[in-house]
Chain A
Amino acid sequence: MLDYKDMGPRSLLVDSFDDVADHLLIDSENLEVPVIYDPNIPQASSISRRWNALFGEWYMLLDDELEILLFTLNNDGYDALVGLGPGSTPAGDDFLTGMHIALRWMGHNFENVISFRNLESRTTWFSSCMLRDAACGLTWYRSKKLLEALSKGADGEVEDALNEVMSMGHTSGRAWISGFFHAVSVCNSSSWEAKNRCNGWK
């Protein structure tokens, strides 16, 4: 973790103190920690068609060391991405997190995208928290900024926000953006295959 922008909404506070959590009640309201941002994922009011070309680039982001994600996705589906890749947040989880946040943002449900059963045994503790946070409708600072920028559609803001997300980890940011773009792209698409995918999410 680099700074507050990288902290998930609850992961550090709860899970990093795992050993003491049974005996310790953390009263976050009285910690006097300043509120940095609201982690709740907002509902997209409207998404400008201007960004469609950008969303369509999702698979092009999965090159070099992330090629395995595209291969796995095409052959084995979303569930096989859980825990795929090295690091504390495997790139597959970053992709799925970005995807879940996009679906939440666009008002879709996502119960059929991956199975959350035994998630903790299938990936790292941090990653599983990240995915569950997204499923709960919570996100971290950098992605929240991106959602806001995309909703506003102001010149330069989307670029700045994307750069901030890209700066997450070695490949985390790129995988996250790819998953996010993928979900928006599929939801926006009118193709038969995309509709089928999309129907599974509703």
Chain B
Amino acid sequence: MQRVEVVRGVYYDSVSLMRVAQELTKIDGVIDATLNMATEANIKIMSAAGFDLSGLDLRPSDLVIAVKAKEEIIDEIIAKAKEYLSNPPWKTTEISQQYFPKSLNGALSMLPEANLALISIAGQYAGDEAMECLNKGLHVMLYSDNVSLEKEIELKNTAKEKGLLVMGPDCGTAVIKGIGLGFANACPVGPVGMVAAAGTGLQEVHVQLAHRGIGVLHAIGTGGRDVKEAVGGITSLMGIEALLESDDVKVIVMVGKPPAPEVEKKIFQRLASGNKPAVLGYIGGELEGDRPPIYFCKELEETAAVAAAVVNGTDPALARKDLSLKYEHLKELASHFGKRKGYLRGLYSGGTLCYEAQLIASKLLGPIYSNAPLDGRYKLSDSLKSIGNCMVDYGEDEFTQGRLHPMMDSTFRAKRMIEEAKDDEVGVILFDCVLGYGCHESPADQLASAISQVKREVGDRVIFVGYVCGVEADPQIASRQRKILEDVGVVLADSNAQAARLACLLLQ
């Protein structure tokens, strides 16, 4: 049976809610447990998971505790949830023994030389905090999302006047002087400087460069909207300027979705008039035909391969040829595993990885439905219900309001994986597994557990294709994560682009 309980007007951070839910599901007799703030998106997700929330007057400031368990223990489980919330069993071992300043001024009194503030608070407050930081002379990495476009423009114009950078909003990853911020991978430091929208696109190029023995000194995040016409590429252009001025940066790499034409023109002109080689990795961009020392790429792995060739002084054309050969080899690999009937379903934690996979798959399979589609005509009306060949980005706002980003907790995505695999119309399930600082301590375990569970039911009718975006030095250790997935029969590729191609080739 199920029980839904509402606690009015409280706030708990999503990590606490996730931990409580995890603790409850470990108890014998508990089928499912979830705790969420009652945002519209969460209500939809909980309803889709089979919880009956009809007739409840819910507001975003309400906490919903929902449990499916054996009748005889359900009262006890709800009581346990409340007990864990007020007195978390894990808290005693996690008490910080460090003094953390509680205010910006307090932090600055302890670190007067600090010149960068990382802001990670609710989006509605983040803009004002960022402005305060700028007024105190600090560069800003704005990790928060849900900051309005108007606020972003105001912040970036103010920053520009002061000669400061605003990285973001929604800047998940950055690297400054080799130090990773946010969801960064433990890659080597080297002669590459990047300017990127600052999500998994940056991570993938960072990781692919590392696989080729090339390090990154700076990776300046801009936020996805920076290259839109309204913002005008303010941070991108300032980032380029900073990288051009740095003696230690030898090659500049730009990564993201294609900019607005006017912005792209400005970026190209500035790079062309600079004194350094540059690789423009705008995924699915229309610019092509290299104009050395400026190179144009359309995929993330290609961007890394070309940038590595430029750093090494080898021919970028050869690097591209090597990649093409690898992609050709995927056909043999697909034949080896045997083709499957049905649709492709992609379940992604990384937005840019999902975008790139859609670009590749749409060329091989035709239109791809998504909650973040390439073409608005193929937008899913309900992100929880797949149509045809379909890819879902679980990092979209609809899934992250009041809950953890899927890179920090794959539970929700893993449940969807089970549902998709049980669908007779599905032949291939494609997914990413992103590693790095800030990510879940072992995302492969969360995913592998779902895969092995569903494989017992559906056997090999469905094939799972995955990509582990990470390096050996990451806290999760890439080889360990790969092994966990391989042990449950996942076919792993060496890049996101290869995984997407292989997944398509595995369909009849």
Residues of chain A lying within 8 A (CB to CB) of residue B109: 50-54
**Bound: A138/B143 CA distance, A:** 46
Report how many A-B pairs have Cβ atoms within 8 Å: 42
* B313 is an interface residue with CB less than 8 A from chain A: no
From B92, B99, B105, A177 is in contact (CB under 8 Å) with B99
Taking CB atoms and an 8 Å cut-off, the chain B residues in 338-397 that contact chain A are none
Q: How many residues of A contact B (CB 8 A)?
A: 20
Which of A5-13, A73-81, A83-91, A154-162 is found at the contact surface with chain B? A154-162
Contact in complex: B98, A163 (CB < 8 Å) = yes
* A170 is an interface residue with CB less than 8 A from chain B: yes
**Bound: A57/B99 CA distance, A:** 12
Mask of A148-174 contacts with B, CB within 8 angstroms, 1/0:
000000010011001101110010010
Taking CB atoms and an 8 Å cut-off, the chain A residues in 39-87 that contact chain B are 50-54, 56-57, 60-61
Residues of chain A lying within 8 A (CB to CB) of residue B92: 170
**Bound: A176/B103 CA distance, A:** 19
**Bound: A1/B108 CA distance, A:** 33
From B97, B99, B108, A53 is in contact (CB under 8 Å) with B108
Residues of chain A lying within 8 A (CB to CB) of residue B99: 159, 162-163, 165-166, 177
Q: Chain A: interface secondary structure?
A: helix
Contacts A54-B101, A57-B101 given; indicate if A170 touches B106 (C-beta within 8 A).
Answer: no
* B95 is an interface residue with CB less than 8 A from chain A: yes
Q: How many residues of B contact A (CB 8 A)?
A: 16
Contact in complex: A56, B112 (CB < 8 Å) = no
**Bound: A61/B102 CA distance, A:** 8
Taking CB atoms and an 8 Å cut-off, the chain B residues in 89-119 that contact chain A are 92, 95-99, 101-103, 105-106, 108-110, 112-113
**Bound: A52/B106 CA distance, A:** 8
**Bound: A54/B102 CA distance, A:** 8
Q: Which of B96, B110, B113 has the most CB of A within 10 A?
A: B110
**Bound: A97/B285 CA distance, A:** 65
Contact in complex: B97, A166 (CB < 8 Å) = yes
Contact in complex: A56, B103 (CB < 8 Å) = yes
B92 closest partner in A (C-beta): A170
Q: Can you report 23 A-B residue pairs in the complex whose CB atoms are below 8 A from each other?
A: A50-B109, A51-B109, A52-B109, A53-B103, A53-B105, A53-B108, A54-B106, A54-B109, A54-B110, A56-B106, A57-B101, A57-B102, A57-B103, A57-B106, A155-B112, A158-B110, A162-B99, A163-B99, A166-B96, A166-B97, A166-B98, A166-B99, A170-B95
What residues of chain B have their CB less than 8 Å away from a CB belonging to chain A? 92, 95-99, 101-103, 105-106, 108-110, 112-113
What residues of chain A have their CB less than 8 Å away from a CB belonging to chain B? 50-54, 56-57, 60-61, 155, 158-159, 162-163, 165-167, 170, 173, 177
